[in-house]
């Protein structure tokens, strides 16, 4: 079976505009390849995926990937590994950042309805001071 889509569906999660490239293929429950766009001046929620190893490959733009509280400056052509259960997030400044996110198993499995996403715990303002 050949799939030829001229326009794929976008999903918006936090600051991420996500196009699931492996959706409706035999791969969709095994590995995900998502094209992700983050607008300039955006900061994502810090979160983790407890079951998925993830590789982010920066296609265009610049920004920072936060991995385990370390801010890693990134630009086109670079990749970042985010291991299972490691808190991470994305920050953009002046540029739109576009990256390919490859996850195994997928963070969002539409077949099962499972979303492997856990926000970082927040500290109340009166405790942080």
pLDDT digits (tens, 9 = 90+) for 52-66: 999 999 999 999 999
5 within a domain of the structure (yes/no): no
Q: Looking at the domain assignment, is residue 59 inside a domain? A: yes
* pLDDT > 70? residue 13: yes
Say whether pLDDT at 49 is over 70.
yes
Residues 87 and 101: their CA atoms lie apart, in Å, by 15
Q: Into how many domains does the chain fold?
A: 1
Domain-embedded: residue 91 = yes
Residue 120 lies in a domain: no
**Domain range holding 72?**
10-110
Which percentage of the chain shows pLDDT scores above 90? 67
Instruction: Report yes or no on 116 lying in a domain.
Output: no
Q: Decide if 94 is inside a domain.
A: yes
Answer yes or no: is pLDDT of 15 > 70.
Answer: yes
- Please indicate, yes or no, if residue 96 is contained in any of the structural domains: yes
Confidence of residue 109 (pLDDT cuts 50, 70, 90): confident
Per-residue CA distances from 121 to 6, 13, 76, 107, 124 (Å): 40, 18, 31, 19, 10
20 lies in a domain? yes
Do the Cβ atoms of 62 and 96 come closer than 8 Å? no
Return phi, psi of residue 6, to 5°. -90, -20
CATH code at position 84: 2.60.120.10
């Amino acid at each position: 079976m050949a799939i030829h889509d001229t326009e794929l569906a976008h999903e918006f999660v936090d600051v991420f505009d996500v196009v699931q490239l492996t959706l409706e293929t035999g791969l969709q429950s095994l590995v995900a390849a998502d094209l992700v766009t983050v607008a300039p001046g955006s900061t994502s929620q810090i979160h983790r995926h407890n079951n998925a190893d993830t590789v982010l490959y920066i296609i265009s733009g610049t920004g920072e990937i936060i991995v385990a509280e370390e801010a890693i400056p990134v630009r086109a052509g670079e990749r970042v590994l985010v291991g299972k259960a490691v808190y991470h997030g994305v920050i953009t400044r002046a540029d739109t950042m576009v990256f390919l996110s490859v996850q195994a198993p997928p963070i969002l499995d539409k077949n099962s309805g499972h979303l492997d996403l856990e926000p970082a715990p927040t500290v109340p303002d009166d405790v942080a001071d």
